[in-house]
Amino acid sequence: MAIKFVSEPIKPILDTCDTKSMSVGSPGLPKGFIWRDQKVTITEILYAWRSTGPCRHGSGEQYARKHWFEVKTSKHGTMKIYYNRSTIGRSKEMGWWLYTIDK
């Protein structure tokens, strides 16, 4: 198996998002998304984690910057995707991203 670095934005299929996790402040992982004009269907969540960083105002608190998911898909193998909520000065980077593909 070869892991391919992608680092491209993806568009979630909104009506498939997990609204339960959104109600507690996490991004709603979609069951499907559009990548390079193709529909990708998530069949299984293998692992989920968060990257954190310090408060940018000096309070000492830690904040979730990215929510990561390693998922199995119906046609594209295993993918690592993340939701980037760290947007200070980089609003175009906010949202869902495909990080790697492992076929």
The 10s digit of each residue's pLDDT in 33-44 is 999 999 999 999
Rounded to whole angstroms, the Cα distance separating 103 from 52 reads 28
Residue 26: pLDDT band with limits 50, 70, 90? confident
**Mind spelling out the 3-state secondary structure of 8-39?**
EECEECHHHECHHHHCCCCCCCECEEEECCEE
Whose structure tokens read 């069949």? 43
pLDDT at 18: 82
pLDDT at 100: 97
pLDDT at 56: 66
pLDDT at 73: 97
pTM recorded for the entire structure = 0.82
Per-residue pLDDT tens over the stretch 44-103: 999 999 887 766 666 777 677 889 999 999 999 999 999 988 656 556 678 999 999 998
